Structures are given as structure tokens and as C-alpha cells.
Structure 1
Amino acid sequence: MATIELRYDEGTIRADGPLEDPPDALEADPRSGTLRAPAFRYAELRATLEERYTVEDRVLALDSLPELASAYELRAYQREAIEDWLATDRWAEVEEPPVPAAPAGVLELPTGSGKTVIGLKAIESLGTPTLVVVPTIDLLDQWVRELEREFDCPIGRFGGGVQRREPITVSTYDSAYLKADAVGDRFGLAVFDEVHHLGGEGYREIARLLAAPARLGLTATFERPDGAHEVVSEVLGPLVHRIAPDELAGTHLAAYDLKRLEVSLSPEEREEYERHRETYTGYLARSNIEFRQGSDYQELVKRSGNDPEAREALLAHRRAREIMLGSDAKIEALEGILEEHPDERTIVFTAHNDLAYDASERFLLPAITHQTGTEERREILERFREGTYGRVVTSNVLDEGVDVPDASVAVVLSGSASEREFTQRLGRILRPTGDGSRATLYEVVSEDTDEARIADQRQ
């Protein structure tokens, strides 16, 4: 039987040897005169070649790890999720030569259900060098703290001004994008937290360049409106386990109520809203553009560069949206909600900074927006966690990627049609309190506007 040698080479797997009928994963590289496959196809390529050849596998260069043992005890639903992931191991039957395990796939669980714990247990189960990829510095710090507390080994980090690799390393998506081809052979497992980010045009290259045969994606909201979750399935594995918030509410997560409060625009707001809405809908009708479709909206944006009517329509749309999402009545409704929950930890979400700052000024709430500095944000969240602050208001910043203290009331003053955004916001109030109390999510919606349709879509 002929022998084929596999090596890792800058984000690809190079195959050397007498290949008579190369597998589909391999393509000719005219520059080097070799056959190569994208690194993410390593497990598939090796399994295919072993059916016909003797394989000398020199792809992975894994450092040794001490025995890993986490003190966490998995809940039943967490155990089922990780068992479904482990059951996808493509190399489970391979005994000689020994190879790292190769389960691959995505787990979708609600915010607050312990996805980090599942990730820790996955690392413990496989006992192989691991790269954990996260979207923000806050999550990087959170993962490093958890890993250092659970495992008796140094934890590396790529991000926040530090570039130090260890057998277990946590990286931001940005840093992993820059380093993946250089470290793609050093990890047997890659864990992607908030894995829906991997569908981004650049970030997906991280998974393509890593040879890690075992891959785990964690998210509360896997599917993307642009369909890019299909790319994630290709490079990471399919969705193998899903748990909806309602399945855990009242048991492992807090029971919750959804309340929609409809408010009216003032006569002045209504007149301005209808005027601007008529301007942009009239232009769309004349131009055969259906505003509901993202591609047609991009066409409107493109036309606005040299068509004065298109620009007028675009500005009218934005102004109508600002009125709809930031009406004066919403601030009045928020006052009533805060009065109804005087002693409960509350997060107020808005779609725009202006409304966040209006609420902050009116009710003396600490505000966190993209303009808030890192240290100020951490100080606000720490005071919220310890109870010095009982309420905070934010514009999108706390939807994901931030370790937010538990709250029991969330108020969506304005938001998008994104189901992901809604699920993330709901997740901020679902952690169990231990006393059996229910959490509450309020949606404040301007009646007789497009916001009612937006609210329906996100649910």
C-alpha cells in the first residue's frame, strides 16, 4: 500500500506521495507542484486517504497538557448537549495510529444556561491543546479567569495587547484572524464562542486556516438573516443541539413574562412621521424598490450618492425611524415601568445613543454606549453587579460579548427586527434568582407605525 505524507503548511494541508486519484478536498498548487487542501478539511482528508493508503500524519504539533479536571457538575441539559456534540466524532473508530478526537458542530443554548461551562467540559473531555475564540476583550478576560480557576496550567491569550500562546489559549476573533495560519497546527480543539460571528466575511477564514480536527461552536442564536450560518456549518460542523429559552424557563432559568406596551406619537410627531414616511415610500413606489429587501435598500443607498430624490427619500426614512423609535411617550412609559419595579435590577435597551442619553438624563441612569470608555463601562457594570447601581441604560453595547450582571427586568425602548438581538436581550434576565421570582421583559412600541411589524418580526 502506497504511503501518503500529510503536513500543515500556512493554513493548508499538503499531501505528498503517489496519489493516483486525489480526493476532492485536494487541489493542485502550481507554484509548489504539490496537492493541498484547506486546513479545515484535515479530518475529512485523512479519513478518506486511510481507505486506500498508508498515511504518515505530521499535521499537528501539539504540546503536552496536564490532566484536566473541572469542578463543575453538568446539569442534565448541558450533559445532553455535550454528548450530542461528542457523538459526531469522525475518528471515534480509529485506533492506529492514535489521533485526536474530532467531534464538530454547534450548540445553541439560551444566554445564562452555562455555555462557558459546556466549553470547559469539552476541553476537559478531549484533553487536547485548545484555542478558544471570543468576540470581545470582556469575554476574553472572562474565559481566561474561568480556565485559570478550573485547570492547573497557564492560559495563553491573543488580544488586549498580549500575544502569548499556551496549550490552552483564548483569543479575540480579530487576533485569531491575524494569527490563525501561524498557529493552525498547534491546537486539537477550536472553541468559538458567539459562533455566529464566524459567518463574517473575514472571520470565517479563522476556521478555514485551523487544522484542529475537533471544533465546537457556542451561541444563543445560530441562524443569521444573511444565511451566513451555512458557511459556519461548512467550516465548523452543523447545528447538533438546540435548546430554546422556553424549555429551561422556570426550571434552570428564570420564568419570565413578555409585556408589550403600545404608546402613541404626539400630534406633532405623528404629522412629521407621516410626512417623512410618505416621502420615502413614494420614492420607492416610483422606483420599483421594495424597502423590505436588504439588497433593494442597498440600491437606495447607492442611488442616494447621485440622485437628489433618492437622498431625500433615504434621509426621510431615517428621520421617520428616529421619531418612531424615540418618541417622547416612550420616556413616559419608561417612568411608569421604573416606578412599578423600584427595587429590581433593570437594564434599559435602546437602538440609538440619543434615546439612551435622554433616559439617562431624565432618570439619572448610568449609560453605556459605544462612546463609553472601557474603564468607565467596567466601573458601571461592577457597581451594577454589587448593587450600588440598580439600573443601567444602553444602546446595543450589552446585547452580547459582555459579562453583564444578573437583572430581573429588561426594557426594550427600541430595537431592530433581529431575532438574535431580542434573544440576547431576553437572556440578560433569565438567570435564576433562587427565590422562584419571575423576570419581565417589556417592549415599548409606537402604535400605528412600522415598529409594530419590527417587534413582531424579532419574536
Structure 2
Amino acid sequence: MTVTLDDFLRDPQPGHQLPAQVGPWRLRPYQHEAIEAWKRAACRGVVVAPTGTGKTVIAIAAIRETAGRTLVVVPTERILKTWLAALSKAGLRAGAFYGRVKDPNNITVTIYNSVLLHPELLHHVELVVLDEIHHVGAERFSRILSQIREDQRVLGLTATLLRQDGRDRDITSRLRVVYYLAPSDALQQGYLAPVRVIPIPAPLTQEDRQQYSSIERQIREVRRRLEDAQMLGSEERIRELDRRLKILLNRRRQLLAQIPSKREKVLEIVRRHQDEDRILVFSESIESVESIKGFLRSHGITAETYHSGKAEQDRDRIFQAWGKEFQVLLAVRALDEGVDVPEVKVGVIVASGTSWRQLVQRKGRLVRPVPGKVAHIYVVYAEGTIEYEILLRLRAIIAGRVRLY
């Protein structure tokens, strides 16, 4: 039977019977509900669901159900390659458009940076899938939504829309959340692995404590001045103080990431789980993960680092070797989203921002379910500092006390 473009572009009516199977995946009840909710919203909206619950499968079902020409937009090359593999598993041919690769198809996967350089990618498609749509809230990507026509179908996917800068409202003002699956509900239904959060306090040296106190005083002062400038409406002054605040926050983050006692705590945790093939460690600076790697290796622990300072091909090689050639992978944000590692049961947060989004993503790396799995997330925090907030927020996310949009 010949399948025409008209077949692909049939009007998606709510209540139309969805297939129970999408490629190798059997649709779960909440995936059905998410697609139906999106269709009721005229095929324009955002699905918010935890990492590991199959948002990609929801999107592939929507692609097969409602669209002909489709553009899937993702934040990174690694996620792009994951999407191409998933589409292939579903029996869908797809092309890629990014960097030097220019191979568009009826379904094309690209990255946000490429859309900025080639906005025409958005012009001739019926469906736009925005994976990790919270990225569109960033100032540099904000114009992408305005370039999507009103008559185009749009499906946004994310584990959380919340942004510290409040720009998630720029997204929801154009695309409303049409379906939300809370992490606590997914856990109760057995679609996420149960998780234990274990606090590990790390003491500061006197010198580090003095540095931390000094930075905290400066942060409070700059924030006070920034509030005054905002009341007076001085744009130039606001920009200057905002720049200074970001520098101070980064300095605090770098200091706390490199507390010497944290290396010893990580070693203790790794030894506690010496039978695990893979342990994932999150931090906030390249210097800190390289330091911890050297410390672990000096104690006979096999470890590697994964961060933006390494070429993409080197990162791919390291990721593939993890669990075979070495045990501990230390990452700086590069693995925060879009990576599927269901076998990993042990994660260590050595340093993190306190944003809800980052904590949701880091938790998400550990809670993909496999039979009998209980995930362990160790929070190694500097005693008497802002880092204790990481522990409180992570517990609130797991308990379902936070609505993530």
C-alpha cells in the first residue's frame, strides 16, 4: 500500500485510537494520556515528566500519529545521536542537521544552535518537537518560539520548566503545559526506581571558611544594591550589578567544589560501593573533577572525567569505556541531561547549583528503573554553607512537594 503525505498529515482528533505499540515500546497509560492531552490542545503544548519515563517515546508516537515533515530540536550532539537511534528503532527514517552534517529528511533532528543559524529549518515543517524545552527560556534561544507559526504543531518536552531567572514564563506564555507527571506519581506507579538520599557533610578548613564568609558578605551587599537599582530603574547599573553578582556566585561555586575534604568523602563512598561497575560523580568545575580523579587514582580507584574541555569523540570513547575499563565517571554538567544509563545505581553530588532544574536532571540520571534497583544519591556538602539547600531541595523533589513548572 502506498502511503502519501496526506496520510501523514491527517487531522489528529482527540479520542482517535492510538496504537498500543510504538516501534519496540508499548505505550504506558500516562504516555497515552499525554498524547491525548496534547491533541486536545490543538497539538500545541508542553509535556512535563520525569527523566526516565519515556518522553522521547511520547514524541515519537506524536510524530507517527500526526505529522509529516517534522523538526526535532535538541540541545547537544549526544542527545541528537540518541534521538536518531530511537527514531530508527521505531522504524522511522531521519536525517540530521548540525555542524558540518547537512542531511535533512522528512524527519530532521537538529540542535538549538543550528536553528539560530538556520531559522529556515522551522519554516517548512508541520511539527516542531522541542526537546529539553527549558533551554528556549535562555535569552539566546528565546526567539525560536516566536519564529514558529501559529498553524504549526509544537510539542515541548522537559523534566522541569522551572528556571532560576524566571524566564520559564516566556515559554508558558506561548505554550502551556498540557500534561504533567509528578516524580512521586511515577515512582508510586513503578516507572522510576526508588531512591535513597544520603547526606555526607564535609568540613571546611579555616582558610576556606574565611573565604566563604567573605564571598557571602559580598553577595549580600551586591544583592542589596541590585534591589535598590531595580527600584530606581537604572538599567546600566542593574546590568553592572548583575554581572558582579554572577561573578561572585561562580566564585562561591568554584570554592565549594574544591573543598579538600570532599575528595576523601568521595573515596569513602566509592569504597563502600566497590562492587558497583559504574559510579557517577557530579561537580561544578573541571578543576574539581580532575583533582578528585587524581586523588582516586592515587588510591587505586579507576576513574575518568567527562566535561566540555574534552573533544566530542574523546567524550564518546570515555562514555563507552565506563564500567568496562574504569569504575568512576566524574562529570561537569555535560551529563546532566539526555543520557540514558539505567544500570547506574550510585551517584555522588560533590557540588551543584541549587536550581530545581539541575537537581531534577541529576536525580534523573540515577532513577531509570531496572528490576531490583534502588538508587543511592550521596550529597557531599560543605558544612555550614548554602550547599545544605541542595539536600533539602533534592528531598523535596523526590517527595513530590515541588511542582516542576
TM-score, length of structure 2 as denominator length: 0.81
453 and 139 in structure 1: CA distance in 2 versus 1, 3 angstrom threshold: closer
**Aligned-partner Cα distance in 1 for 2:229–2:338:** 26
Counterparts in 2 of 1:277 and 1:357: CA distance versus 1, 3 Å: closer
Residues 387-433 of structure 1, C-alpha deviation per residue, up to 9 Å, x if partnerless? 44332111111111445564111100111111111111111111112
- Tell me the equivalent position of 2:267: 335
Instruction: Please say if residues 64 and 167 of structure 1, whose CA atoms lie closer than 8 Å, have aligned partners that are also in contact.
Output: no
Match of 1:193 in 2: 131
1:213 to 111, 136, 152: 152
1:74 aligns with 2:11: no
Shift of 1:321: 4.7
The offset of 1:72, in angstroms, is 2.3
Q: Deviations over 1:261-303 (max 9, x none)?
A: 11222xxx22x2343345445556777736899989x969936
| Partner in structure 2 of residue 131 of structure 1 | 71
Q: Which residue, 338, 363, 380 being the options, matches 2:296?
A: 363
Question: Which one of 268, 279, 282 corresponds to residue 349 of structure 1?
Answer: 282
* Aligned position for 1:261: 200
Is the CA contact 2:199–2:380 (under 8 Å) kept in the aligned structure 1?
A: yes
Deviation of 1:134 after TM superposition, in Å, equals 0.5
Alignment partner of 1:121 is 2:61: yes
Q: Check the 8 A contact 2:253/2:351 in 1, yes or no.
A: no
Q: Which residue of 2 aligns with 1:415?
A: 352
Q: TM-score, normalised by structure 1?
A: 0.72
Equivalent position SS for 1:372: coil
1:164 counterpart residue number: 103
- Aligned ranges 1:28-427 → 2 under 5 Å: 70-89=23-42, 103-152=43-92, 154-180=93-119, 182-211=120-149, 213-235=152-174, 237-249=175-187, 251-265=190-204, 269-270=205-206, 272-282=207-217, 289=224, 302=240, 321-344=253-276, 345-364=278-297, 365-384=303-322, 387-404=324-341, 406-427=343-364
Q: Percent identity?
A: 29
For the pair 1:442 / 2:378, whether they are aligned, the reply is yes
Query: Residue 97 of structure 1 aligns with which residue?
Result: none
Equivalent pair of 1:346/1:410 in contact (CA under 8 Å):
yes
Q: Secondary structure at the match of 2:336?
A: coil
What residue in structure 1 maps to residue 367 of structure 2?
Answer: 430
In 1, Cα distance between the equivalents of 2:192 and 2:77? 26
Q: Which runs of 5+ in 2 are unaligned?
A: 10-18, 298-302, 397-405
Deviations 1:243-270 (A, max 9, x none): 22222226111111111111222xxx22
Alpha carbons of structure 1 residues 440 and 287: separation in structure 2 relative to 1, 3 Å: closer
What is the alpha-carbon distance in structure 1 between the residues aligned to residue 242 and residue 359 of structure 2? Answer: 31
RMSD between superposed Cα atoms in Å? 3.2
Q: Is the 8 A contact 2:212 2:255 kept in 1?
A: no
The 8 Å contact of residues 289 and 305 in structure 2, kept in 1 or not, is answered as yes
Stretch deviating more after TM superposition (327-336 or 66-75): 66-75
Report the CA distance shift for 1:372/1:178 in structure 2 as closer, same or farther (over 3 A): same
Give the secondary structure class of the aligned counterpart of 2:270: helix
SS in 1 for 2:173: helix
Greater RCO (CA < 8 Å, at least 6 residues apart): 2
- SS in structure 2 of the partner of residue 202 of structure 1: helix
| Structure number having the greater helix percentage | 2
Bigger Rg, structure 1 or 2: 1
